[in-house]
Structure 1
Amino acid sequence: MDFIDEELKRLKDKNLYRVLRPVSTPQDHRIKIAGKSFILLSSNNYLGLANHKLIKKKSAEALIKYGTGAGASRLISGNIELYDELEKTISRFKRTESALVFSSGYAANVGTISALASEKDTIFSDELNHASIIDGCRLSGADIKVYPHSNADKLEWMVKKYRGRGKKFIITDSIFSMDGDIAPLGEIKNIASKHGCILFVDDAHATGVLGKTGRGSSELFRIDGRIDIYMGTLSKALGSAGGFICGKKELIDFLINKSRSFIYSTGLPPSALAAGTAAIELIEKDRSLRDKLLKNVEILKAGLDSLGYDTMKSETQIIPVLMKSEELAIRAFNFLYENGIFVPAIRPPTVPPNMSRLRITVMATHTMKEMEFVLDVFSKMRRAIRI
C-alpha cells in the first residue's frame, strides 16, 4: 500500500510525524520513559488523583469484588451496580437532575450530539471546540455554523441570522484544551436563553478545577442547573476513565435509548467506576489539592511570561507556549526532553498552521523545586534554540 508510505514520508518531511513513548511509572508529577526520569508537564491528571493512595485503594477493592471488566454493554449485562452510585454522585456534584456515564469523553460528545441533532437542526459551534465535538456535529448531519472563538457578539449575530426551522444548539468547551482560556459562559447562556437555543457545554478540563468547590464552569459563572447538556470526563482531574453527560432525566433516558456510542460500547471496568466516585467525594471534602494546583499555575505562568514566552490567553492549568513553526516546536521539545522535562510539541492538525506550541499542563503534585527547575530550563532554552 504505497499511499501509506507516501503519507508517512510527507508527515516526517513536514515535522508532523508522531510516535508513542511507553511510560513505565504511574501518572504523576514525575514519570519514566525508556528508563529516564522526567518532570511531567503534559498530563491531564491535574490533581494527581490517578496515583492518589485513597483512590487506588477504592479502585483495588472494586477490582477484587467485581473483576477486571464489565463483560458487555450496559444495556446487556455490563451495567455494574457501581454505575448507579457514580451517576448519582456526578449529578449531585454537578447540581443536575441526572447523569449518564460513557466509555470516554469522546464517546460522550460524539454520541450525544449525533443523537440529539439532525439534518433539520442548526448547531453553532466555537471554532476551537474539541475534535469530539466537531465529529459529533458532522455525524449529526445538522447545519453547522462555526463562530469566531469566544466571540459572544458574533455568536448572537449568527443565531439571529440563521433562524432555521429545526432545533438550535450552541456548543462550546468551557476550558479550551489547546489554548487554556475560558469561554464567556455567562454571555453565551444569556444568548441561548434569549433565542431559544439548547446549550451544550463541554466541561472536560474544568471539572474538579474551576469554581469555589471544583464543580466546574457552571459554579464559576453561577449558572448551576441552567446548562441544558453538561458534559464532563472522569479521566482528567478525577484521575479515572470515562466521560459523562448531565441534565434532565428525560435527556438521560433519551440517550440510553438513542446514543449509539453508549448503546454499542462495553461498560467501563469496575475499578474505574469506583475511582471516579471516590475522586469526586475527595474533591468535595478537601480543597487543598485545588488550591495547590492554582498556586502552581500562578507561579509557572508568571515565570514563563517574565521570560518573554507567549502563553497566549491562558487563564487555567493549560498553558500553551507558542512556537509558531513546527520545526521550532520540535526543537523545543527535544531540548526539554534532553533536560528531563516532558512536554510534547502540539502541531497541525491539532492546532492551525503556524500555531504550533508546547502545551504545558500543571499538576497539584508538582513541587516548588520542580517549578524552579522548569523555569531555569526554559530560560536556558531561549538562548539555546534562539526563540
Structure 2
Amino acid sequence: MNWMEKELERLSGQSLERFVHASEPARGFPGYLIRGDRRLLNLSSNDYLGLSGNREVVEAMRLALEREEAGSGASRLVTGSRQANERLEQALAAWQQSEAALVFANGYMANVGVISALAGRGDVIFSDRLNHASIVDGIRLSRAEHVRYRHNDPEHLNDLLQKHRHARRKWMITDSVFSMDGDKALLHELVELKKEHGALLMVDEAHSGGIYGHRGEGLANQLGLHKEVDVHMGTFSKAFGVYGAYVSGSSTLIRWLINKTRSLIYSTALPPAVIAGVEKALTIVQEEKWRRDKLAASIQVFRSALAEAGFTVGRSDSPIIPVIVGDNESALRFSSILEDFGILAAAIRPPTVPEGTARLRFSLSVAHAESELLHAADRIRQAGMYAGVLKE
C-alpha cells in the first residue's frame, strides 16, 4: 500500500487532499448545520427549495416506511415495480410533457447508465468541457468517441460537428446549469446545431430542475425547447430535497433504457419511503411557485452584496455563485476563516474544477433569510481580506 501513501502525501502537499467532516442538521434552524460544537450557516448545500426538511415530505416518507418495508428488495426487473414507482413515473412524464419517464437510484447512475446504453463504437459524443463528471464517465463507458468542445462555444461545436459529419450517430450532451460555475448552457444555439447536423441532444437538468420553468420543469422548458430535447435527465437530490434521479423522453427511449441500461438492470430499486418523499416533493415543486420566487430574490440580493464587496460573481441568475480564488491553499484558507465566522462554504479544487481556478462555491436555499444572506456577505468580505484574496 506504499503507493497510496505516496500519492496521498502528494495530494496533501498540493492542498488537494479531501476529508470527510461529521455534521448534522441544526434542528429548528433551517439552512444551518452543526459541525462539532458550532452552528454554521450552510452555503454549500444543493437544497435549493428548502424541501429536505419539509414536514409534508418527511411525513410522506414516514407513512410509507410504516406501511411498507424499509427496502425494495431487488431490481425492478426481478421482483416487479411497485405501484408507487409507476405512479411517480407517470407524474414525471406529465410534468415534463413527455411520453414516459424512468426513475434511477441517483444522478450519477442515471448519466453513466443512460449514456453508455445509448451510444457505442462508431458514434461521436460532443460534450461541453465543463460537463459534470458523471457525463464524462458515461461517455468513457460507452466506447463512443469523446469530443469535448470549449465551454459554451457554439462555433467550436459547429466546427467539430462538421469534422465528424460521417459519424454513425452524433450525440450532443450538456448540463443546463453548470454545477461549479452556475452559468447556463446556450440551449437555443445547441438546438439549432442539432437540427443543422442531424444530431441528438441530451440535457442534464440536475441544477435547474425545480428552479426554472413555470412549474419547475427546468431550463429547457422555460425556454420553450423541451420538445427539442431527445433525452431529459434530472435529479431529486437538489431542488427536490430527497434522493434519486429520472430520465424522460419518448416511450421508445424508455423501453430501450429498461432493456439496455446496466445501472438500472443491476441495481436495487429505490426504497418505498424515498419514492413517497419524491412524489410529495414533486407536488410541492409544481404547486408552490413562491419558493422559486423567493429563491430568485435571494439570489439577486446575495449576488449584489458580493459584487459590492468587490468579488466577481458573473451574471448568472442561478443559485450557484462561485468566487474564484485561484490557488488551492488560498481557497482552503478562505473556507477555514469563513467556518470560524460561522459560515460553511466548501473549497472546490481540481480535478473538480480546472487547474488554477480553485474557488468557494456558494449555493443558496429558500431556507436562508435575506438578513442572513446580507450578514453572510459582509462576513465573506472580511474573510476574503483576512485570507488575502480580496483587497481593501
- 1:290 aligns to what? 292
- 2:60 aligns to what? 58
Unaligned runs of 5+ in 1: none
Question: Shift of residue 35 of structure 1?
Answer: 2.8
- 1:7 aligns to what? 7
**Structure 1, residues 267-326: CA drift from partner, whole Å, max 9, x if none?**
111111111111111121110111111111111111111111122454310000111110
Q: Does 1:21 align with 2:21?
A: yes
Q: Does 1:174 align with 2:188?
A: no
- 1:207 aligns to what? 209
AA matched with 1:202: D
**Contact preservation (8 Å) 2:125, 2:170:** yes
Choose the corresponding residue for 2:147, options 145, 148, 173: 145
**Structure 1, residues 59-104: CA drift from partner, whole Å, max 9, x if none?**
1111111121111111112632211111111111111110000111
Which sits farther off after the overlay, 219-228 or 171-180? Answer: 219-228
Distance 1:59 1:113 in 2: 31
Q: Secondary structure at the match of 2:141?
A: helix
**Contact preservation (8 Å) 2:26, 2:39:** no
Closer/same/farther in 2, CA of residues 30 and 78 from structure 1, 3 Å limit: farther
Choose the corresponding residue for 1:46, options 39, 45, 48: 48
Closer/same/farther in 2, CA of residues 379 and 168 from structure 1, 3 Å limit: same
Choose the corresponding residue for 2:317, options 315, 318, 321: 315
Question: Shift of residue 224 of structure 1?
Answer: 2.5
Closer/same/farther in 2, CA of residues 74 and 151 from structure 1, 3 Å limit: same
AA matched with 1:36: R
**Contact preservation (8 Å) 1:121, 1:164:** no
- 1:349 aligns to what? 351
- 1:187 aligns to what? 189
Identity over the aligned pairs, expressed in percent? Answer: 38
Q: Does 1:334 align with 2:332?
A: no
Q: Secondary structure at the match of 1:44?
A: coil
**Structure 1, residues 31-76: CA drift from partner, whole Å, max 9, x if none?**
1111310000011110010100111111111111112111111111
* Aligned 1:260-299 pairs, distance under 5 A: 260-299=262-301
* Aligned 1:207-286 pairs, distance under 5 A: 207-286=209-288
Question: Shift of residue 234 of structure 1?
Answer: 0.8
Distance 1:337 1:79 in 2: 45
**Contact preservation (8 Å) 1:108, 1:244:** yes
- 1:85 aligns to what? 87
Closer/same/farther in 2, CA of residues 232 and 26 from structure 1, 3 Å limit: farther
- What is the aligned-residue RMSD (CA, Å)? 1.2
Choose the corresponding residue for 2:106, options 100, 104, 110: 104
Distance 2:371 2:103 in 1: 38
Q: Secondary structure at the match of 2:237?
A: coil
Unaligned runs of 5+ in 2: none
Which sits farther off after the overlay, 133-142 or 217-226? Answer: 217-226
AA matched with 1:126: D
Which sits farther off after the overlay, 88-97 or 247-256? Answer: 88-97
Distance 1:266 1:10 in 2: 38
Question: How high is the TM-score relative to the length of structure 2?
Answer: 0.96
Question: How high is the TM-score relative to the length of structure 1?
Answer: 0.98
Closer/same/farther in 2, CA of residues 348 and 313 from structure 1, 3 Å limit: farther
Closer/same/farther in 2, CA of residues 193 and 341 from structure 1, 3 Å limit: same
Distance 2:11 2:255 in 1: 44
AA matched with 1:271: A
Closer/same/farther in 2, CA of residues 51 and 78 from structure 1, 3 Å limit: farther
**Structure 1, residues 105-133: CA drift from partner, whole Å, max 9, x if none?**
00000000001100110111000000000
**Structure 1, residues 345-385: CA drift from partner, whole Å, max 9, x if none?**
00001001110000100001101221122011012123212
Which sits farther off after the overlay, 130-139 or 376-385? Answer: 376-385
AA matched with 2:98: T
**Contact preservation (8 Å) 1:293, 1:364:** yes
- 2:365 aligns to what? 363
Distance 1:81 1:247 in 2: 21
Q: Secondary structure at the match of 2:301?
A: helix
**Contact preservation (8 Å) 1:320, 1:360:** yes
Which sits farther off after the overlay, 253-262 or 277-286? Answer: 277-286
Q: Secondary structure at the match of 2:233?
A: strand
